[in-house]
Amino acid sequence: MSVVIVKYNAGNIHSVELALKRLGINAQLSNDPQVIQNADKVIFPGQGEASSAMRYLQEHKLVEVLRSLTQPFLGICLGLQLMCRHSDENNTSCLGIYKTDVKRFNQGLKTPQIGWNKIHYPKGVLFKGIKPGSFFYFLHSFYAQKNEQTIAETDYGLFYASAMHQDNFYAVQFHPEKSGKNGEQLLKNFLEL
């Protein structure tokens, strides 16, 4: 099985690579459209800022490539946010795979949200073997609003979409690669799609 991690100038790619190695997968890092299109599975992780990440994707002709993929695709953290329509972070137009927008957490909340939080109402194959109320590791100041594609929610001052699914596109706001056994199970579920 060939797994490609999209390289797009957003941090945290190597911890995903290491998590996959622990599962016996040697993933390839690439920003080459052809390599990405030919992969069996594509992972789109990231930490960073939305507008510069989108600019990189545009400059490297990856926007349409990512939108048109038909194999299982997993966005992580910033990856999830970039799969939405629009982000309030520097007023950024995103990929539009999910029909929802990304908002900044209310000013009264400590941001970024850093650390362990629960997922509620998990559903679908991505959460096979993972119980409601399971903890995952989060690190973010922006969140995706709940929508029809939401498959898990998290409460941080409000309930937001902490996981989404549309066709072959899956995304999680938390970091499975830093979430112990639950994160390992989620990655395993994705790899088995």
Annotated catalytic residues are 77, 175, 177
d(CA 174, CA 136): 6
Structure tokens of 3? 């797994």
Distance CA 23, CA 5 (A): 15
**Residue with tokens 């000013």, as numbered in its chain:** 107
Cα dihedral 55, 56, 61, 67 sign? negative
Dihedral sign for Cα atoms in the order 35, 190, 155, 47: negative
What is the distance between the alpha carbons of residues 46 and 186, in angstroms, rounded to a whole number? 17
Query: Which amino acid, residue 9?
Result: N
